[in-house]
A and B are shown apart, each in its own frame.
Chain A
């Protein structure tokens, strides 16, 4: 069974530029999560989808971050414009349903300079 796929793995951009991350969850998984993880800290939920509907985006900085999950499968996370403090790893995860075992992708590492 293929795992959660993310791309790109690494990205370096200048502040005020934009960046987009892509995630393909495990086939059949209804729930998809985007997390931000800063070095030395636990993951912070940015947004959670159930199929193509948003369950929780309370911690998503909506002035600069956006995410979508068209057709309830793949998802993209966009940051525009980026700030220095956005430097982090962005983790995509999926689960069959909310509350089930969660599987993570390898992450997309963002450095904003």
Chain B
């Protein structure tokens, strides 16, 4: 079975802290995605990556950055956490074969206080 693992299920951080959210997949997927999920807004794409060291901005990249040094790992970085970044963060991975599904991690509920 494909497994996408996010490093934490729940996280509490202080305003101004640098926060790292880690995502690891075990199926050699090329594509990886980071979303935030907020009630009424659905899943909004923050960043995505289609290869090692390659990244593309999604629809809401402000305040975030990403790193993909190895194919299996895609990190989301909040440079200086703010309270409006309190949210559920979901990571997903997918092969580039076009009709394949994306596999998701369990999500990280981040609270910034």
A and B found bound together:
no
The residues of B with any CB-CB pair to A shorter than 8 Å are none
